[in-house]
Structure 1
Amino acid sequence: MKTVVITGGTDGMGKALALTYLRRGEQVVVIGTNARKGQAVLDAATELGADRRIEFIQADLSLLAENRRVIDQIASTHQAVDALVLGARYFRATRFVTTEGFEANFALFYLSRYLFGHGLMAQLDQAAAPVILDLAGPGGELSRIRWDDLQFAQGYNPDEVMGQCGKLSDLLAVAFTRRYPATRVRYVLLHPGLTATGFTGEYDAASAELVERMRERGQPIEAALVRILRHLDNPPTAPLTAFMQDNPIDVHGGPFDSAAADRLSELTSKLLR
């Protein structure tokens, strides 16, 4: 029986993926902020007769302390983690700083991914074919990174913030594979395509109108699941791969620059200290 951990697992693609694995007979840990949505996943698992194979952990992953609490809880109860799906994100039309002093998107979309990947490394290494799947937007130029203002203290723009977080995920993956050259863990960056999910977040009027149009144009969740499961069921042979829908992205070019990845890793270590 596999163990699958999903951040952002109570909504949209994360929830659909969790229920897919439960139907297959696997064990699933879902992490989400909303207790009501978490209970809905638990209820769906009960209907499938899988209530003993589902675990919901309520946590706000924009808080570092919450990430560490959840990671410790998973590590203490699961010897091995076969798949770690990093899907938590939350759109904010206006800048919000957490009680720990971090811009919320930077904390949730980047720092949480950093903490989970490294924090569950021992459990991933115990699995037969471990894989980390980061649902981000791989590719794009390094120029979108505000190195001197990573948390958008000046000129906050939510679209630029989300774009930068996707780029930070790319560099996180590069640094991860460089840090663990001998690991069997495969790191996959994937944008499954515009999908008609919940688009959770806090929107102003203009953003809400745009999101509604995106929801209308988005592919069904089932179509995105096909792309996600392709990589989880058969992890690539290369340590790091990236895909925009079905199209592979070269992870050895400039956008995945190792020096930039090392720079980000060093900055992150300082922030976490």
Structure 2
Amino acid sequence: MARTILITGGTHGIGRALARHYDERGDRVIAVGSRDADLSSLAQTRDLADRVSAEHPVIDALVLGAFRYQPRRIETEEGFEATFALYVLSRWLLAVSLRTSLDRAGRPVIVNLCGTGPGRIHWDDLQLTTRYRPLTAIMQGARAGALLGAAYASERTRYVLYNPVFVATGLHRPFRQPVRGIVRAASALFAQPAAEAVPPIAALIDDPPAERLTAYKKGKPIKVDADPGEAQRLEELVRSMAGHPGHAGRAG
């Protein structure tokens, strides 16, 4: 029976390779790229979720892969730091907005393509207004993924954190020369082709883990470090921010 797979970031890199894999298998694939929706916008994320849930009342898998490297701090029109908006707020909003459609599936799963390193939440300044660094924003987003995965409330849908490590996905594009050339050369020499990253991810989509929350690094299971108190605190903050665009994102 054909399944319905929603993939954000589905028009390039790993997302595109996954979309092609499931399309060739005969599944219904909804591949969302930046031309379809700007997922750093909560309004457009909500609109996408509404349209998808209306057209597809049952969703078997949600792959959260939309990401954009930001060399400098940029704010969205809604007043959020762009990495946090796309990497944290949008992914959380899609997951909770599509929960009903996911829970109707036989073996539903969310796969969050994210880092699994030792990032931390900057509780006093989630928007990194005074200390923005690209890596700081990315690591905070990865940590947020683990906490929000732990806070995700569903008895049926499994939540998987997956770090594909270094994959050839056009990472060089946001950089200026000469850094762009260096990153591009390193990618050509060391990065895994996107198609080779697909099989272990597809295996988790086809046969989701028994546990509600799991994490993998390049196909190998790793321990999930997600304190329940931190998870609840962040989920409450993100819920408030998503409901009130322009929230300053500071917590005592």
Normalising by structure 1, we get a TM-score of: 0.84
- Residues 103-162 of structure 1 show CA distances to partners (whole Å, capped at 9, x for unaligned) of 111000111110111000010011111000000012425xx2211111110121001111
Alignment match, 1:256: 226
CA 1:119 to 1:209, structure 2 compared with 1: closer, same or farther past 3 Å? same
SS class of match (2:89): helix
1:33 partner letter = S
Alignment match, 2:249: none
- Residues 194-236 of structure 1 show CA distances to partners (whole Å, capped at 9, x for unaligned) of 1112227532446524532441210121221112112111111
Q: Which has the higher contact order (CA 8 A, sep 6+)?
A: 2
CA contact (8 A) 1:63 1:100 kept: yes
Aligned residues: 241
CA contact (8 A) 2:160 2:214 kept: yes
| Cα distance in 2 between the residues matched to 1:62 and 1:213 | 29
- Segments of structure 1 that go 5 or more residues without pairing to the other structure are 35-57
Equivalent of 1:174 in 128, 145, 150: 150
Alignment match, 1:77: 55
Alignment match, 1:154: 130
The answer to whether residue 84 in structure 2 is matched with residue 106 in structure 1 is yes
| Cα distance in 2 between the residues matched to 1:151 and 1:104 | 9
| Cα distance in 1 between the residues matched to 2:59 and 2:11 | 19
2:159 partner letter = Y
CA contact (8 A) 1:125 1:184 kept: yes
The answer to whether residue 235 in structure 2 is matched with residue 270 in structure 1 is no
Equivalent of 1:133 in 78, 90, 111: 111
CA contact (8 A) 1:33 1:59 kept: yes
| Cα distance in 1 between the residues matched to 2:202 and 2:148 | 22
| Cα distance in 2 between the residues matched to 1:59 and 1:140 | 31
| Cα distance in 2 between the residues matched to 1:170 and 1:201 | 27
CA contact (8 A) 1:92 1:202 kept: yes
Equivalent of 1:196 in 168, 184, 188: 168
CA contact (8 A) 2:172 2:183 kept: no
Alignment match, 1:3: 4
Alignment match, 1:20: 21
| Cα distance in 1 between the residues matched to 2:186 and 2:103 | 38
| Cα distance in 1 between the residues matched to 2:19 and 2:203 | 15
2:51 partner letter = Q
SS class of match (2:39): coil
CA contact (8 A) 1:139 1:170 kept: no
Equivalent of 2:198 in 225, 241, 248: 225
CA 1:173 to 1:160, structure 2 compared with 1: closer, same or farther past 3 Å? same
The answer to whether residue 216 in structure 2 is matched with residue 243 in structure 1 is yes
- After TM superposition, the structure 1 stretch with the greater mean CA deviation from structure 2, 218-227 or 116-125, is 218-227
Displaced runs of 4+ in structure 1, greater than 3 A? 204-207
CA contact (8 A) 1:193 1:224 kept: no
The answer to whether residue 153 in structure 2 is matched with residue 185 in structure 1 is no
- Residues 53-81 of structure 1 show CA distances to partners (whole Å, capped at 9, x for unaligned) of xxxxx100000000000000001100100
CA contact (8 A) 1:93 1:204 kept: no
CA contact (8 A) 1:136 1:191 kept: yes
SS class of match (1:92): coil
Greater percentage in helix? 1
CA drift of 1:271 comes to: 1.2
| Identity among equivalent pairs (%) | 41
CA drift of 1:12 comes to: 0.8
1:189 partner letter = L
